[in-house]
Every structure is written in structure tokens, then in C-alpha cells.
Amino acid sequence: MNLKELIRSVRRIQFKSQSLTHQKRLGEVSSSFKGFGINFSEVREYQFGDETRFIDWNVTARYNRPHVKVFEEEKEQVNMLMIDVSKSMDFESDQKSKKQTLIELFATISFSCAFNKDRVGAIFFSNKVERYFEPKGGVKNIWMIAMELMEWKSTASHSELMAPLSFLRSLKLKKYRLFLMSDFHFENPEKQLDSLVKTKRKNRTYVLNVRGYLENGLPLRGFYQLINSETGIKTWHNGFSNKVRNRLAKQTESVKSYWKKECRKSNMQYMELTSQDDVFKKLNGLI
């Protein structure tokens, strides 16, 4: 898919998100894209009708008159999207690359946030932070990040989470929602998970595993040369052998099962997407 087609795809997602937002029919997507609740604003004198549970007893004792705490709704929240831009994300199957799925995923989440007056920031990562975009509001910000992602040329040989997540923690954001997008071809997954759990804390975290259709198993019987897009290593596999097909399928399923199980254990939302999925529809079942 060329740049013009990608732009058209993102524009369709923008119009679809905007239309659904205005009709207040975003369903689960819309319901999660709200503020975190109420924040403390100020203390003022008690007025008839105020709830006694909000009385600030320290201030009341100081002035010898009842005072109450005033809260206001926090209508804007920060959404951080961490996007894997390593070479493996260029994997293409069925005429659609994992990168295109990433772009559609980014657009669906980001436009939904923007139309709900939330701020969106992004981190492009490999084994390090490749690019950081400060959280900002507005559709213009979404398009700027989307164009950078569309034109991004992958050069990093592999990806990992420790350094990028350490960078995110160093930003000292008070509270945010984290969306992690990758194919999870990580070495030492235990270390990656530990870093993610450390970063999560009280923030809502969504783990989005993006896979190429052919990565889930050999679709047809035959001899296959598989190329590791991150290392460049080429290996031949006998697709006529049920033993080989089952081994490759089990390897893939083992990785997915690990992340799915551990994410649920750590109270993180997990979803798998392939290049054949309708990203916009599928997100309604997650968020």
C-alpha cells in the first residue's frame, strides 16, 4: 500500500470516528475515553445543601466555621501510544503489512481521543526511543504523528521495552492511559513484562499484539524460506511435514499465550490483531 492509499485509509478512520462521536454512539470506545473522575479544586465555606462528607475538618477547626472541599471533573486526560517501529513491523502478508495495521490502530485510538478533547502523545521505539511526541490535543497533532509513522523507514534490527519504558517513566506524567503496540518478538519476555508492570502502576494499560496473517502458521503445504526481518537470518521449513507445521504453530501460540496470561494477571487489557482484521470494529470489543 502506497502513501496515498495510507492517507485515504487514515482519513476514512477520521471521518468514521468523528461521525460516531457526534452521534454519541461510540459504544465501548467512547465510554472509556472519558476523564478519570474528579480532582480536588479548592476549599470554601459550607453552604446549605453541601454534603457533610466533604467537610474539611482541619480548615473548619482553623477558622471555627465549617468549610467543604470542592471537586471538579477532570475532562481531559493524557493518552500515550507506544509504537514498535523495528524492522519486523514491515512484515507483509495478504498485501497488507503489520505497519499498515499499526497506522490504522494508531488512527482509530487517537482520533477517538482527540474528538473527546483528550491529549495524545506517542513514542516510536525499537530497542530505544526513536522519536517522542509530546501529548497535545487536536486533530492536527494526530495527523502530524500519523504522517511521521507512515513515512518512517525502519532501520533498527530489534526491539525491546526496557529503555523506552524507562524513558516514559522519566516524563513523570501524573496519570495517563498507555497503549502498547508491537508484534512482541522480544528476547527475554520476562524482563520486558517486568518493565511494563513497573510502568503501569495505576495507569490503564492496553497491550495490542499486531501479527501478520502468515505469522500464525503456514497456510499451505510446501517448502518455505522464512526470513527473520530483524536479524536477516534465512531458514527453510518443510511445510509438508505435520510435525514442522505443528512446531511452528506451537511456538507462535506459546508467545501469545504468555502475554495474554501475564497481562490479565497484571490487570492489563490484551488483544491480538492480524492484517486481516477490521481494526475499527475490533477495538470496540477491547476499549
164: confidence class by pLDDT, cuts 50, 70, 90: very high
29: confidence class by pLDDT, cuts 50, 70, 90: very low
Span 108-134, average pLDDT = 92
Please report, as a single letter, which amino acid is at residue 55.
Answer: I
Report the pLDDT value the prediction gives residue 87, as an integer from 0 to 100.
84
Hey, what domains does the chain have and what are their CATH numbers?
Answer: 3-29+75-283 (3.40.50.410), 37-74 (no CATH)
Q: How far is CA 146 from the centre of its chain?
A: 14
Report the pLDDT value the prediction gives residue 36, as an integer from 0 to 100.
39
In this structure, what C-alpha cell is assigned to residue 64? 471555627
Report the pLDDT value the prediction gives residue 123, as an integer from 0 to 100.
97
Q: Radius of gyration over alpha carbons of the chain, in Å?
A: 23
Contacts of 176 (CB under 8 A, 6+ apart): 77, 78, 79, 80, 135, 203
The answer on pLDDT for 23 being more than 60 is no
Mean pLDDT of the chain: 80
**Neighbour-count burial of 105, counting CB atoms closer than 10 A to its CB (0-12 exposed, 13-18 middle, 19+ buried):** buried
Report the range out of 49-63, 128-142, 253-267 with the highest average pLDDT.
128-142
Report the pLDDT value the prediction gives residue 229, as an integer from 0 to 100.
54
72: confidence class by pLDDT, cuts 50, 70, 90: low
Q: Are 120 and 114 in contact (CB under 8 A)?
A: yes
Span 153-160, average pLDDT = 82
User: What is the CB neighbour count within 10 angstroms for residue 134?
Assistant: 10
Span 83-108, average pLDDT = 82
Report the pLDDT value the prediction gives residue 119, as an integer from 0 to 100.
93
Q: Are 102 and 9 in contact (CB under 8 A)?
A: no
9: confidence class by pLDDT, cuts 50, 70, 90: confident
What is the percent of the chain with per-residue pLDDT over 70, rounded to a whole number?
Answer: 73
Span 275-280, average pLDDT = 83
The answer on pLDDT for 15 being more than 60 is yes
Span 219-241, average pLDDT = 59
The SS3 call for residue 229 is: coil
Q: Which residues pair with 80 in a beta bridge?
A: 121, 178
**Neighbour-count burial of 214, counting CB atoms closer than 10 A to its CB (0-12 exposed, 13-18 middle, 19+ buried):** middle
Span 223-242, average pLDDT = 59
222: confidence class by pLDDT, cuts 50, 70, 90: low
Better-scored residue on pLDDT, 97 or 257? 257
Better-scored residue on pLDDT, 251 or 35? 251
Query: Distance from first CA to last CA of the chain, Å, rounded?
Result: 28
The answer on pLDDT for 78 being more than 60 is yes
Better-scored residue on pLDDT, 54 or 227? 54
Better-scored residue on pLDDT, 145 or 87? 145
